[in-house]
């Protein structure tokens, strides 16, 4: 059985503390990493990665959209890592 890595780019709602949102994302089951990065025009985004078994595929895009303070979620990459 292999593992699947999903890399997401998460944009916060206006006025939301991006560091607090990053901590909320880290608490999601199967979150491998979550960090704040500079984006365009002085804005900040969150890059988060999730790892799960390929047999237990999850829609992390929808799971993250359900987190309070998330404006937009984009899948950057999905692939087998082992």
State the CATH number of the domain containing residue 71: 3.30.70.60
Q: What is the mean pLDDT of residues 19-30?
A: 96
- At 58, is the secondary structure helix, strand, or coil? coil
State residue 82's pLDDT score: 77
To the question of pTM greater than 0.85 for the whole model, the response is yes
- At 27, is the secondary structure helix, strand, or coil? coil
Q: Are 80 and 14 in contact (CB under 8 A)?
A: no
Q: What is the mean pLDDT of residues 26-37?
A: 96
- Give percent above pLDDT 90 in the chain: 88
Domain that holds residue 56: 3-80
Q: Of 77, 64, 68, which Cα lies nearest the Cα of 31?
A: 64
Assess whether pLDDT exceeds 80 at residue 57.
Answer: no
Distance (Å, whole) CA 53 – CA 17 = 32
State residue 46's pLDDT score: 98
The domain tally of the chain equals 1
């Amino acid at each position: 059985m292999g593992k699947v890595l999903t890399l997401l780019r998460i944009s916060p709602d206006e006025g939301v503390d991006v560091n607090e949102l990053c901590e909320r994302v880290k608490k999601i089951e199967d979150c491998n990493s979550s960090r704040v990065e500079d984006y365009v025009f002085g804005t900040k985004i969150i890059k988060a990665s999730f790892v799960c078994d390929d047999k237990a595929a999850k829609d992390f895009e929808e799971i993250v959209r359900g987190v309070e303070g998330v404006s937009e979620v984009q899948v950057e990459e999905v692939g087998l890592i082992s």
